A and B are shown apart, each in its own frame.
Chain A
Amino acid sequence: MTEEKRRAYWRENLRLMGVLMLVWFAVSYGAGILFVEALNSFSLGGYPLGFWFAQQGSIYSFVVLIFVYVWRMNALDRKYDVHEE
């Protein structure tokens, strides 16, 4: 693997990570803590929305985030031909 390809692979990895961590921050620290009071004026079923994010939604989002990461990284590994076999 050339130095250049190595850098490109790492850059794409970091970009993906950055996007996913942004969502991670938004659903927990954002919706669950910083903006919880504002979101509580909306409701989701019988849940105040901010409360739902803090005790349910953030956790579901975390699970989805990891599997999106797995899926995108497997594709990236193939693209740069660094996948294990």
Chain B
Amino acid sequence: MDTQTLTFIAVGLSFALYFGIALWSRAGSTKEFYVAGGDVSPVVNGMATAADWMSAASFISMAGLIAFKGYDASVYLMGWTGGYVMLALMLAPYLRKFGKFTVPEFIGERYYSKAARTVAVICLIVASITYVIGQMKGVGVAFSRFLEVDFTAGVMIGMTVVFFYAVLGGMKGITYTQVAQYCVLIFAYTVPAIFISLQLTDNPLPQLGLGSQMADGSGSLLQKLDKVLVDLGFSQYTAQKGSTLNLFLLTLSLMIGTAGLPHVIMRFFTVPSVKDARSSAGWTLVFIAILYTTAPAVGAMAMFNLVKTVQTDTVGVLQANLEYEQRPEWFKNWETTGLLTFEDKNGDGRIQYYNDKNPSFEAPPSWAGNELKVDRDIMVLANPEIAKLPGWVIALVAAGGLAAALSTAAGLLMAISSAISHDLVKGLIKPNISEKGELLAGRVAMGAAIVAAGVMGINPPGFAAQVVALAFGLAASSLFPAILMGIFSKRVNRQGAIAGMLTGLTATLIYIFWFKGWFFMADTAMAPNNSANWFLGISPEAFGAVGAALNFVVALTVSRLTAAPPPEVQALVEAVRVPRA
């Protein structure tokens, strides 16, 4: 069977599985719709949260990012996992004890204010919508690349599948499909990695393979990778390139952004107890760590294979550069997608891949510039082909990419629809709505959110590429500090929380827009987006931590100057701090 047929089978089977789960897990009450009935086991919730969290970006783009940035990409690895320690120790158990359905609901009750709840709803919806557009785009890309289905048709198929299980089952349907999606995506990610690690280092565990000696006895993998890159004018793979302050703040922003993202937090409302919320955060990180500790090996090994394919021997020897006519089959396959492009600048019919932007690198005189452009996403997608793995592995990667995108999209859509039906409709507009009415409102909101996300995925607004910075910046600078202070301080009051959220939010938005253009219209940027212009060398992506710090300072100061929260709110804080009583 050819790869195309195998891919159809793999994707078809995985979708059939999701449909089956949808039929089995319909929601009959608002409790089932919002929190899957509240009786999900901590391990199951951990698996679902891992799939919820790991998006198309984690699955497809992260290893490529690591491949090209080397050590500096560690910020993503630490940032997107370290946030779970904060979530487990500072937020999840207390929010579970609070025992309601949504994040804005906690903020509204803790700060006894509809305005605070509304600010939280707005932050949640902006962060989640921008995030979900990227997932829909990922679905379209996976379909068009692996199944040769038109991009728009691909997004519509994806939307239909999500519509089916999310509208019928709400959180309950989403939870159990996410478990299935986790299994698909982790299998698809680790199998190629194991084979490549075996080929290069004889070690089946990629986590150990990355730190091993080469199978051909030519020294350690990382040292060789450092050397081949330096020989081509790139910087050492394992060495630091960016400024320490920026790496530090970027890691911190990603961590508190992760801990503050509502679609992740709300998953902890589904477990039966406070004790389960704690251990569930641990299980979540176990399941995430399997992928996140494999990714650095995938990145480094893919980079090594790529360079070694093109530059087969010492730089300067003519025969060491691969002849274009001799290029391997996977090279041709990816050229047709436009993600890998070759331009014979010096007309010698051979491929030269090197850093032509490095003034201190003395390239051989016959070289006339870098001839190979590589999109970083192909590092994961082309990996099975580069390692000459059978067709079924490639088919698996396609199904895995789709599982990663769909599971995250569903989680985000759940956060959006519950904010609309529970916080806006029931909380603010029509408090006496019946349970049946609210369930219907939830389903309608879910359907509308899916259609809106699909439309925006098909016609992505210009800012689609910038959304990650925005979503993390918003969560880090507004939601995370408000929730944290709500638990750890009895003194922070309504005025303080609202002033703090607005300050953090505004400062972060202005900083991002300043360098990326107002509302991401690139030509309205106030200064070029590079480290020379950044305040203290802090990139817009790393500014969330500064926004959060401003939030804390303003909230604590304003609270000191105004009256303490009423006694019943202080009692609420006391209550969430203790598991029983």
Interface residues of A (CB under 8 A from B): 1, 6, 9-10, 13, 17, 20-21, 24, 28-29, 32-34, 36-37, 40, 44-48, 51-52, 54-56, 58-60, 62-63, 65-67, 69-70, 73-74, 77, 82-85
Cross-interface CB contact of B85 among A37, A44, A62, cutoff 8 Å? A62
Within 8 Å by CB of A77, from B71, B82, B275, lies B275
B292 cross-chain contacts in A, Cβ below 8 A: 59
Whether A9 pairs with B247 at a CB distance below 8 angstroms is no
Asked whether A46 lies within 8 Å of B213 as measured between CB atoms, the reply is yes
Q: B357 at the A/B interface (Cβ < 8 Å)?
A: no
Provide the bound-state CA to CA distance between A46 and B226, in Å. Answer: 12
- Identify which of B74, B239, B244 gathers the most chain A CB atoms within 10 Å of its CB: B74
B interface residues, Cβ below 8 angstroms from A: 66, 71, 74, 77-78, 81-82, 84-85, 88-90, 93, 207-208, 210-213, 220-223, 238-240, 244, 247-248, 251-252, 273-275, 278-279, 281-282, 285-286, 289, 292-293, 296, 574, 577-581
Q: Among the listed B82, B278, B574, which residue makes an inter-chain contact with A6, where contact means beta carbons less than 8 Å apart?
A: B574
Q: Kindly provide the distance from the CB of B478 to the nearest chain A CB, expressed in whole angstroms.
A: 22
Report B227 CB to chain A, min CB distance, Å: 13
For the complex, give the distance between the alpha carbons of A66 and B223 in Å: 33
Chain A residue with the shortest CB-CB distance to B208 = A45
Give bound CA distance, A20 to B86, whole Å. 10
Residues of A within 8 Å of B296, CB to CB, are 55-56
Chain A residues closer than 8 Å to B577, beta-carbon distance: 6, 10, 13
Nearest CB in chain B to that of A21: its residue? B89
List residues of chain A with CB within 8 A of the CB of B282. 63, 66-67, 69-70
**B-side interface mostly:** helix
**Other A-B pairs, 11, CB within 8 Å; known A6-B578, A66-B85:** A6-B574, A13-B577, A21-B85, A51-B238, A55-B77, A55-B293, A58-B81, A62-B84, A62-B285, A63-B289, A66-B89
Chain B neighbourhood of A62, CB < 8 A: 81-82, 84-85, 285, 289
Q: Are A46 and B212 in contact (CB under 8 A)?
A: yes
Complex alpha-carbon distance, A65 and B207, angstroms: 20
Q: Is the CB of B286 within 8 A of A34?
A: no
